[in-house]
Structure 1
Amino acid sequence: MHAQEAIGAVTSAVAGAGLPAHDAAVVRLGENGVVLLPSAGVLARVVPRVAKDSDPGHEIRIAAWLASQQVPVAHPARPEPIIVGQYVVTLWEYLRESQPADLVTLAECLRRLHAVPVPTKLLPGLSPFDKFDERLATGVGLNISDRTFLRQLRDELSVLWTTSGFALGEAVLHGDAHMENLLVASDGRQAFVDLETVCIGPPEWDLTLTALYYECGWFSAREYVEFAQTYGFDVRRSPSWPVLRMIRMLRMTLWLAQSTDDDPQRQRQLRHRIDTLRDGTAPAGWTGY
């Protein structure tokens, strides 16, 4: 998704809601977009409406349910999504002067999230290879050899996933649990954001990103140890860790392929990620975006 697409969709969406969008600014871009509307005091999330049977209001209902379970979440600023062409726009409260949580706070909030009762409906089961084929087909900078290699890697990991054992059972997961998806406001309030990935599955899935980011060199050993001790489990000690690790690296590579067409630095990093997946040295030299 490009910045102009995201801002255009948001501007069209809020026009009917009577909200100002003259100062709209992109906060984050990837497959989805996050746009800040400072004058309106809201954050807009822009998600491509890929599937005809997709449920645009799902994320809003998840936020309401999590709040009812005393899980810290951002609240919708509008109770219904807004459809703009091929995009779904949802409006959320803007937590002013908020910052990404530190790893200890993330571990504490994940423990709270993973402890809530698992609902019988509402949430889907974890799908580790969700959107894989779509991302592979649309990924920029991938040649035929890359696509063949990544597809074969997915197939191998899919078989391993079905035989993996998980020590922590099943729980409600965030699904994309990293520091930037847990905000802390200046008054101390905490809020999980980007709730479209919330699902049911093994808690090890939510712990894997932080462990992998540590392997990438993005966190110090002290920071990671504090995270694992605060949560009470080090996912790297799990028998399922090698599979979890590889699946996450595969997803991180395909995510990067969605936004490399106009960024030479990202193009180089994408090539590096694929090369290191091939030769087994991943995630050495992986940088974050």
Structure 2
Amino acid sequence: MTATLAEEATALLHEVGRELGLDTADARLMRVRSNAVFKLRGEIVVRIATAPDALTRLPVVLDVARWLAERGFPTVRPADELCDHPIVRSGRVITFWRYIPVSGTPTTGELGRVLRDLHRLPVPPFALKRLADPLAEVRRCVETHSDVLTPQQRCWLRERIAELTERWNELEDVDPPVLLHGDAWIDNLLRRDDGDVVLCDWDGVAVGRREWDLVHTYHGQRRFGLTCADVDDFAAAYGHDLRDWPGYSTLMEVRDMYAIGVHIRNAAGDPFSRRELPRRLESLTKGDGSARWYLAPA
């Protein structure tokens, strides 16, 4: 029987734990998405990446998180005292972060303020990727994980991705590029025990048009249960309403397509992705822009 992503990640966690002298006996799996994320004793979080390009991205992700923390930006911090670089085992890339005890639920207004502050920062002096092709990973997944797609689905996805990529390239850049979080969804904002909020999960950090960070909240109303009031609060806090942007419709459709990539990649080894992928594909192929989608339970 083929191991699930969770089982594979757990085995890797125990292997690395033995090497570093970490107590992984009571490790708690927090989620499996683009990473399998574990909470350990000693306030340590271990992230085991599922994406194939993780090794090229994660050293810069760690550098950006440190750079932001040095400037007082509310971010999670790498656990450099334990290991200050990614570790590669069995083709998976592993990083270590400080755990943040959380209490309560952040608001979309708080997310808007945090992103406003992030986008006002200068671009850090690292070789950050440019967000020139947001569907590149989805395109790769369609070609390399064809076992979870029917021939008809694969053909439709190829054509739709090509169309959306062309429309993305035609969008006009009004503002200069900014430092992007890359996955600025409300679930990646944590409320600490002291009441302050902290932004986590910087794997998608890049330089590009600010609208890519903003669209997640609007897409959350379309697919994941956020309300119009949530979006209004977000827009007011950020100081700009994406719904007034001429490229809004295209951006929402690109985000729709982007949101299936991880499930194509993980479907063979993750039961949730295996259930969720058909739901999302059906709504996309039918042109249903309001079907409810779901996130893996925490």
TM-score of the aligned structures, taking structure 2 as reference length: 0.88
Tell me, what secondary structure is at the counterpart of 1:274?
helix
CA contact (8 A) 1:181 1:194 kept: yes
CA–CA distance in structure 1, aligned partners of residues 54 and 75 of structure 2: 28
Deviation at 1:48, TM superposition (A): 4.0
Deviation at 1:265, TM superposition (A): 6.8
5+ residue gaps, structure 2: none
CA contact (8 A) 1:35 1:44 kept: yes
Matches within 5 A, 1:110-149: 110-119=115-124, 121-126=126-131, 127-136=133-142, 137-138=144-145, 141-149=148-156
CA contact (8 A) 1:140 1:259 kept: no
- The AA in structure 2 aligned to 1:144 is P
What residue in structure 2 maps to residue 25 of structure 1?
28
- The AA in structure 2 aligned to 1:208 is V
Matches within 5 A, 1:99-178: 101-119=106-124, 121-126=126-131, 127-136=133-142, 137-138=144-145, 141-178=148-185
Higher relative contact order (CA 8 A, sep 6+): 2
CA contact (8 A) 1:177 1:207 kept: yes
What residue in structure 2 maps to residue 283 of structure 1?
290
CA–CA distance in structure 1, aligned partners of residues 141 and 160 of structure 2: 14
Tell me, what secondary structure is at the counterpart of 1:88?
strand
Structure 1 residues 191 and 62, CA, compared in 2 at 3 Å: closer, same or farther? same
CA–CA distance in structure 2, aligned partners of residues 27 and 82 of structure 1: 20
- The AA in structure 1 aligned to 2:180 is L
Matches within 5 A, 1:1-289: 2-37=5-40, 39-48=41-50, 50-51=52-53, 54=56, 56-78=58-80, 79-98=84-103, 101-119=106-124, 121-126=126-131, 127-136=133-142, 137-138=144-145, 141-216=148-223, 218-261=225-268, 267=274, 269-289=276-296
Tell me, what secondary structure is at the counterpart of 2:20?
coil
Structure 1 residues 94 and 52, CA, compared in 2 at 3 Å: closer, same or farther? closer
- The AA in structure 2 aligned to 1:28 is R
CA contact (8 A) 2:5 2:270 kept: no
5+ residue gaps, structure 1: none
Structure 1 residues 48 and 254, CA, compared in 2 at 3 Å: closer, same or farther? closer
Tell me, what secondary structure is at the counterpart of 2:121?
coil
Structure 1 residues 249 and 51, CA, compared in 2 at 3 Å: closer, same or farther? closer
CA contact (8 A) 1:166 1:238 kept: no
CA–CA distance in structure 2, aligned partners of residues 139 and 108 of structure 1: 40
Instruction: Name which of structure 1's ranges 52-61 and 251-260 shifts more when overlaid on structure 2.
Output: 52-61
CA–CA distance in structure 2, aligned partners of residues 114 and 280 of structure 1: 33
CA–CA distance in structure 2, aligned partners of residues 104 and 46 of structure 1: 31
Tell me, what secondary structure is at the counterpart of 1:125?
coil
Structure 1 residues 240 and 181, CA, compared in 2 at 3 Å: closer, same or farther? same
Instruction: Name which of structure 1's ranges 160-169 and 174-183 shifts more when overlaid on structure 2.
Output: 160-169
Alignment RMSD? 2.3
Deviation at 1:210, TM superposition (A): 0.6
TM-score of the aligned structures, taking structure 1 as reference length: 0.90
Deviation at 1:264, TM superposition (A): 7.0
CA contact (8 A) 2:100 2:192 kept: yes
Deviation at 1:132, TM superposition (A): 2.2
CA contact (8 A) 2:54 2:93 kept: no
